[in-house]
Every structure is written in C-alpha cells, then in structure tokens.
Chains A and B, each alone.
Chain A
Amino acid sequence: MTIVLHDANTIRLIGTCPADDGEVLLQHLLANPQAEVDWRGCESAHAAVIQVILVSRRPLRGPPAGPFLERLIEPALRRAGCQVPPSPRGPEVRKR
C-alpha cells in the first residue's frame, strides 16, 4: 500500500504513488475530514495525487523523501495554499 490511513488524523503517502492513488487519497480525505497528509515517506507522486492534495488544502507534513517533490513541488503547494507546517529534519523523519 502506498496510501495508508495511519489514524484518523494522518494519511501517509509512502514510496511511489501511482495515478490510482489519487482516488484512494480522495476517499481517505473525504472519510477523515480532520486528517492531515504526511508525505515524509513519499518518493514521488503522480500528478493525480498532487492534484488531490492541492484541492484538499489539508496540512501537509513534510518534507517528502523525493528530491523533486521536496525542492520544487512542496514550495509550489505551499504557494498554492496548502499548509505546510515547518517540520524538523532528521534521519528518523526521512525514512526511505
């Protein structure tokens, strides 16, 4: 599984999330209106997944594991209105 509902407050994106994960993520978000998205384990995500995150504007816990996501997409999502809480950087966070 690349999208995991950790608890009612966290939906985790793990590894490489394909296009179908867009729908999975959407269902999780709809079912858990309070949940935030944690993509610290996410290597890469299909545009369909990014699009759902963008629409949801849920808090996004990062930084993501993939360098492209971290360097370019996270700042873009922040500018687009997603709440990206500052998070401590450390090896335990950047699980691969």
Chain B
Amino acid sequence: MNEFLEQFLIESRDLVAQGTDDLMALAENPSDRERLDGAFRAFHTLKGAAGIVEFGAMTRTLHAAEDILASLRSSEEPINPDTLDEFLTCLDLTSRWLDAMQSAGEAPSTAEADADNMIARLVGSRGAAEVAHASAPGDDTWVGRLSVAAGSHFTEYRTALRYIPSPDAFFQGLDPMNVVAALPHLMTVDVVLTDPDVSLETMNTFNCSLEIVALMEAAGEQVRAALLNVPGKVEVRELASTAIRQSEEVQTNARSLIEAQLLVLQQSDVDRSVGRRASAGRTAVNALLYLGRSELAANVELAIATTKAENSPDPLIAAIEQALSGTGQPERHNNSPTAPVVPRALRVDMDRIDALVKLAGELIVVKNAIGHAAKLVHENEDPRAVIATLREQHALFERLATELQSAVLRIRVLPLRSVFRRFPRLVREIAVSVGKTVRFITEGESTEADATIVDALFEPLLHVLRNAVDHGIEPPEQRASAGKPAMGTLILRARRDADTVTIEVEDDGGGINVDRVRAVARARGIATAESLTAMSDAEATGLVFAAGFSTASTVTDLSGRGVGMDSVRTAVERLGGKVTLESQAGTGTKVGLMLPFSLMMTRLMTVEVAGQAFGLPLDNVVETTIVPRDRIVPIGAGRAFVLRDQTIPLIDLADTLGIQRTDTLSRSPAKVVIASAAGQIGAIEVDRLGERMDVMLTPMEGLLNGMKGVSGTTLLGDGRVLIVLDVEEILS
C-alpha cells in the first residue's frame, strides 16, 4: 500500500470516529450547534480526503450527507432522529469501505451500489419531511399532463417530477436541461413555459421561465438524490400503485418461484438430476436478479458450480435457502467488518514517542559504559573493580529495559472508547427490531487495552449485547407483570485490574433459565442426563458456552442461529482471555470478559526435564508441590495422586514429549507443577523447577506451526532457545 493511501486511511478513521462522537452527542442533545458544526466538518473533511484518493463512491455519499448537514445547520429545526441514524449508518459504511481498502488496497467493487443505496437512504430520511410540505394541495394538473404525454405507458412508471428552475437559474450557470438529462431512468419529459403569454418580442432570454415535468422508472429517493443540490422548486411524486406492485407482488412472486426451485432440488433423485439441478439454480438466479439482489444471485451462481463439482445438491440448497432469508430483509445491516482484523497503522501520542527517544538515549549511555568495562578488562585492570562497574550497569540496564518495555506497550494501547462508541446505536437498532426498549449505559470507556485486543473485541461484544437484548431483557408486558420498569437496562462496563482488563455486560432481564439450559443440552446431546443432574446450577448455566448451543426457541435475525456464546468464548480465548457468566433467575445476567492488558508479554515459569528447559505460562500454573512416590497410584493407563481430597492425574513431561531420560530419579519424591487449562486440572512431573520470567513469545512459524503441545519460543539469557509449552494441549 502506498504511503498516500495509508495516510488517507489513518486520517479517515480518525474523522469517522470524530464524526460518530459528534453525532452521538447530537442524539443526546439535538440542539447542540457545536456538535452539529463538528459533524459537518468531519463529513466535509472526509469527503475532501476521499476526493484526493479519487474514491468516487465515498465522495459522492459524503457529499450528499454534507449537503443535508449544511441545510440542517442553516435551519432552526431540531434534527430528526431518523436522519441522524442515517448519518451514523453512512459513517459505518465509510468505515467498512476503509476496512476493505485496507485489506485490498482499493475501493470494494460494491462501493458504487452501496453509495447509491446510502444516498437514497440519506435523502429519503429527509425527503419524507420535505415532500410533505412541498406537495401543497391543489395543483395536480401537471401529473395529468404527464399522463397524457406518457400515453398508455403511464402506469408503468414509478416517479413523477415537476421541476421549476428559479428564474435566475441561467445566471447561476445552471442548465436545467442538464439536470433533467442526468435524471435516472428518464422515460418522458414535458417542457412548458410558466408564462404562456410571453412572445419573442417581450421575452428575456436570460430569465428562465420553464416548467419541466418528467416521468422516471426509478425510486423516489433516487430521483430526490439526483436533485439534491438543484435550486428551484422541485416536487417529486411517487406513483403509489406501481410502487406497491413492485415491492409486494413482485417480491412474493419471485420468492415463491425460488421456493419452488428449492423443492425441486430437495426432491430430485441423485443420478439423473444434474441438469435439473442446474436449471433450478438458474431459475433461482434469475428470480434473484429480478428482485435486484445481484449479490445473492452471485452466491447461488457459485453454488451451482459447486453442486456440479461435488455432484450433491446440498451447496445449492444451502445457497438458495440463504438467499431466501436474505430477500426477506432487503436492508441488511452488515455491521461486522468485511475482513478479519487486519494490522493497521496506529496513531501515537507524541509524548509517548518522546519517552522512547529518551530511553534510547539512556540505553546508549549504558552501552558505552559496558564497552568501557570491557576495555578495562583488556587492560588488565583489577577484575573486582570491573565487576562492580558491570553490576552497576546491569542494574541500570535492567531498569531501562523494563521502562522501555512499558513505554512500547503504552504505544500499542488504545482506550476501549473506540469500540464502545459503536454500540449505543446498534443496541438501539437491535432493541427496536425486537420491539423492546432498552436503556444502554457504558462505563469506563477510557479503560485502555492493547490495540489488537480492542480491535478484536467488537464482534464478541456485539454478540453478547445482542443476546442480552434479544434473550435477556424480557418484552415490556412481561417486565411490567414482573414488577420491573418496562424499559430494560443494559450496562457495558470496563475496568482494569492489574494486568487484566475486565469487560462486563449486565442486563436486568429474566436471567438464564437453568432448566431450559439443561433440557436443551440434553436434547442437543451436549451433556448426558447423568452428568446434567450432577452439575450445579452454575455449571449447567455455563453450558451455554458449549459449541452448538442456542436456547432461543424462535430463530430471530439477531441471535439464535446456532452460533451462540461459544463463538464469544472462542474469540475471547484466542485473545488469551476467559469468559464468565453469572445469572440470577428474574433479576438478570452478567457476562464478563477477562482479557490480558497486553498480548506482548507472557509470564513464564521454567522447568527442566532430562537436562532441557521448558517454559510453562504462569497463567496456567496453579501451584508447585512435591509428591512422595508412594502416594502416586496407577489408574488405568496413567497415574494419579490425591491432593487435598482431589484426585489429580499425573503426566510425566519427559514421556509426553518423548524425551529419553539419561538417569532415573525415580526414587526421590516427584516434583510436580499443578496446572489448569480450559477447566481441566492436571499435574506435570518435571525434574527441576526453574525461575519465573517475563518474555516476549515468538509464535511457531512454518513447518513447526502445527506442532502439538508447543505455543512458542523465546531466547534465554545464555542464548539457548526456550520452548514454551501449551498446557491445554498437554493436559488433553
């Protein structure tokens, strides 16, 4: 990626964040003119930036938004919340474009279509109000005139326009003909003079006295979007009957056609239906194209090829089913980023860089001092004096290294605000879509965490919040009968505890129904009846994290598609964190995400086996102990011992790693590390317990990437490579 584009991405992200902040503040206080000005500036600058990198779709979209913001600035009217929502959606879209540009280096191919859609929405959100007072009662003759002009085709058109340019339009450099020519899907135009009595002798050619009416086969929003900046009197009339025909009848027909193809595919027998499958697929593709869902059609088209290659109708059936569920919700909100977390440039406070520069300078002083000490040794100086110097410099060096480490860590740190601020609007949207009202509170937005963690948190958090709104908070009637306020409360809270960042999502909903969880877990084969009865309520509640668990009896758009809390758990564990769940029937649920503050440093404990050192992550180590040999008993194929009334399986690290012991220490008591990972506990027998250290772990790469039981390596002080073990894999 070139530097220019990189700069554009950094700046644009900042501007999106700034704009979002201003808009959110406006939502709280619609009369805050300063925030309105701020939002306007953000959109304006963003538009300019997009223009510089020649990202046409983005320029266009932001220009439309900017125009509306400008008119809002000049009017005294309070801002309509719908319009505000569209501005936020617009920034969301921009953000997705930026993500796509980041990963692909260019604007996504769907940008133009997305832009059209967004502009239509922006204009539509405002147009509704405008049209209401623009289409003053009375004068409808122009529509009649158009119907004559269009003849028998009149009913096929969707939008009628009456456009009276202002008399000084020509002076303003405007050509109303160009305006009309640029209208989308223009079908018929009629031009008349506003003053029918004017003659060549009396006319002023510099005064515009035209009235133009036109019919278009385009949606009203599209037409309004095209006329956004046009001065003069503009009246857009959607021809209702045809609009309904388009949206309902056509949709229903096309859907039933697609459903019929699905039936064909499900019934057709395997060997003689290759052709039939393909034709059913093609029909579905055409129906989707007719509905204007080209992206879904493309998916189905791909699936046709897969079906052919695999000689199985399943991929095609799946694709069509997906398309069908997609056609039901024409305005899909895809809030998840298009690409997985991509490393991106970071904006860093100048102070933090200055701290690094200062540290670098001090380190050079230490380097020189060590060089000086070496020279003293070379000149046969008294070794004791040299040792004192070296010790002193080592202490200094250690301090500086620690400072350097924390200074570097601070560079990678971001406040959680950058992810939290996206949620208030999303939560509101989710709540509206399931017919609930939710008060959403965020606390501790300024808590900081490693940028990688902050970036990766959006999706899991959104999932937890969705669950809370969709399943946690009860419908208003139910809340009322339980004596709760009709409006639910949802709190998103963050705090830092030492090296851990804790994020909690708390709702005051109905809590998790443990009996339902048990029943579902049994029905889905997640746990056996016996183990379920043995489980405590808390343990049973924890089953919602099991893969394939989803308790919602009705699958909603939001959650309950079978990728429930287990995806949250996986995402958080991938970041080295863990998830907790507290739930109380009737009063609410609290989901906690415990994450490491930084991904860079790992605390280790070294152990030695057969003369070789290994590292164990300290997070996994519960305790170290010495167990007499006679307390170790063989159980099945393995061994175990009892510690404080708990039976703990014992694993010999040398055996597990396949290392041959040269000497047998079997008579002395066993040194063991008791470790836990993923809820399992086990004891690892080692020859010697080593020291603790903080290291930067290098993950395995290339051929060693898939090696079991190893999570990475680091270098020891004497230059040896320390292999760091993956306790979870060793225990399992």
Contact check, A76 vs B200: say whether CB atoms are below 8 A apart. no
Cβ-based interface call for B649 (8 A):
no
Contact check, A52 vs B205: say whether CB atoms are below 8 A apart. yes
**Pick the contact of B176 from A47, A54, A68, A77 — CB < 8 Å?**
A47
Cβ-based interface call for A46 (8 A):
yes
Contact check, B175 vs A29: say whether CB atoms are below 8 A apart. no
Binary interface profile of B, 184-223, with partner A (CB < 8 Å = 1, else 0)? 0010111111000011110101101110000000000000
**Pick the contact of B188 from A19, A51, A72, A80 — CB < 8 Å?**
A72
Which residues of A sit under 8 angstroms from B189, Cβ to Cβ?
72-73, 76
Which residues of A sit under 8 angstroms from B210, Cβ to Cβ?
47, 50-51, 54
Q: How large is the interface on A (under 10, 10 to 19, 20 to 34, 35 or more residues)?
A: 20 to 34
- In whole angstroms, how far apart are the Cα atoms of A29 and B191 in the complex? 20
**Pick the contact of B203 from A26, A68, A79, A80 — CB < 8 Å?**
A26
- In whole angstroms, how far apart are the Cα atoms of A77 and B201 in the complex? 20
Give min CB distance, A64 to chain B, whole Å. Answer: 12
Given contacts A29-B200, A47-B210, contact A79 B190 (CB under 8 A): yes
Contact check, A46 vs B175: say whether CB atoms are below 8 A apart. yes
Give min CB distance, A32 to chain B, whole Å. Answer: 11
Cβ-based interface call for B181 (8 A):
yes
Contact check, A73 vs B177: say whether CB atoms are below 8 A apart. yes
Which residues of A sit under 8 angstroms from B177, Cβ to Cβ?
44-47, 50, 68, 73
* B195, closest chain A residue (CB): A55
Give min CB distance, B238 to chain A, whole Å. Answer: 21
Contact check, B201 vs A76: say whether CB atoms are below 8 A apart. no
Cβ-based interface call for B165 (8 A):
yes
Which residues of B sit under 8 angstroms from A29, Cβ to Cβ?
200
Contact check, B209 vs A79: say whether CB atoms are below 8 A apart. no
* B182, closest chain A residue (CB): A68
Give min CB distance, A83 to chain B, whole Å. Answer: 15
Contact check, A55 vs B200: say whether CB atoms are below 8 A apart. yes
Which residues of A sit under 8 angstroms from B209, Cβ to Cβ?
51
Give min CB distance, A22 to chain B, whole Å. Answer: 4
**Pick the contact of A73 from B191, B193, B198, B199 — CB < 8 Å?**
B191
* A29, closest chain B residue (CB): B200
Which residues of A sit under 8 angstroms from B411, Cβ to Cβ?
none
Which residues of B sit under 8 angstroms from A56, Cβ to Cβ?
200
Which residues of B sit under 8 angstroms from A80, Cβ to Cβ?
190-193
- In whole angstroms, how far apart are the Cα atoms of A72 and B193 in the complex? 17
Contact check, B149 vs A79: say whether CB atoms are below 8 A apart. yes
- In whole angstroms, how far apart are the Cα atoms of A30 and B189 in the complex? 28
Cβ-based interface call for B290 (8 A):
no
**Pick the contact of B198 from A55, A75, A79 — CB < 8 Å?**
A55
**Pick the contact of A26 from B149, B190, B193, B205 — CB < 8 Å?**
B205
Given contacts A26-B200, A26-B203, contact A51 B208 (CB under 8 A): yes
Given contacts A26-B200, A30-B200, contact A19 B190 (CB under 8 A): no
Given contacts A29-B200, A51-B193, contact A22 B205 (CB under 8 A): yes
- In whole angstroms, how far apart are the Cα atoms of A47 and B3 in the complex? 46
Contact check, A22 vs B200: say whether CB atoms are below 8 A apart. no
Contact check, A19 vs B170: say whether CB atoms are below 8 A apart. yes
Given contacts A47-B165, A47-B177, A72-B189, contact A52 B149 (CB under 8 A): no
Contact check, A55 vs B206: say whether CB atoms are below 8 A apart. no
Give min CB distance, B147 to chain A, whole Å. Answer: 12
Which residues of A sit under 8 angstroms from B198, Cβ to Cβ?
55
Binary interface profile of B, 121-151, with partner A (CB < 8 Å = 1, else 0)? 0000000000000000000000000000100
Given contacts A29-B200, A30-B201, A50-B210, contact A76 B190 (CB under 8 A): yes
Give min CB distance, B592 to chain A, whole Å. Answer: 64
Give min CB distance, B143 to chain A, whole Å. Answer: 15
Give min CB distance, B160 to chain A, whole Å. Answer: 15
Which residues of B sit under 8 angstroms from A79, Cβ to Cβ?
149, 190
Which residues of A sit under 8 angstroms from B191, Cβ to Cβ?
50, 54, 73, 76-77, 80
Which residues of A sit under 8 angstroms from B180, Cβ to Cβ?
72
Cβ-based interface call for A5 (8 A):
no
Which residues of B sit under 8 angstroms from A22, Cβ to Cβ?
170, 205-206
Give min CB distance, B309 to chain A, whole Å. Answer: 46
- In whole angstroms, how far apart are the Cα atoms of A84 and B608 in the complex? 101
From residue 37 to 96 of chain A, which have CB atoms closer than 8 A to chain B?
44-48, 50-52, 54-56, 68, 72-73, 75-77, 79-80
- In whole angstroms, how far apart are the Cα atoms of A77 and B203 in the complex? 18
- In whole angstroms, how far apart are the Cα atoms of A56 and B200 in the complex? 6
* B190, closest chain A residue (CB): A76
Give min CB distance, B167 to chain A, whole Å. Answer: 11
Which residues of B sit under 8 angstroms from A54, Cβ to Cβ?
191-193, 210
Which residues of A sit under 8 angstroms from B193, Cβ to Cβ?
51, 54-55, 80
Which residues of B sit under 8 angstroms from A30, Cβ to Cβ?
200-201
- In whole angstroms, how far apart are the Cα atoms of A21 and B442 in the complex? 64
From residue 410 to 455 of chain B, which have CB atoms closer than 8 A to chain A?
none
Which residues of B sit under 8 angstroms from A75, Cβ to Cβ?
149, 188
Given contacts A76-B149, A80-B191, contact A47 B199 (CB under 8 A): no
Contact check, B206 vs A48: say whether CB atoms are below 8 A apart. yes
**Pick the contact of B205 from A51, A68, A73 — CB < 8 Å?**
A51
Give min CB distance, B323 to chain A, whole Å. Answer: 37
Q: Can you list 6 pairs linking A and B with CB atoms under 8 Å apart?
A: A26-B203, A47-B177, A47-B210, A73-B177, A73-B191, A76-B190
Write the residues of chain A forming the contact surface with B, with a CB cutoff of 8 angstroms: 19, 22-23, 25-26, 29-30, 44-48, 50-52, 54-56, 68, 72-73, 75-77, 79-80
CB-CB nearest 9 A-B residue pairs: A22-B205, A72-B189, A47-B176, A47-B177, A23-B205, A76-B191, A68-B181, A76-B190, A46-B175
Known interface pairs A29-B200, A51-B208, A79-B149; 17 further A-B residue pairs with C-beta atoms within 8 A, sorted by A's residue number: A26-B203, A44-B177, A45-B177, A47-B169, A47-B176, A47-B177, A48-B206, A51-B203, A51-B209, A51-B210, A52-B203, A54-B191, A54-B192, A54-B210, A55-B193, A55-B198, A76-B190
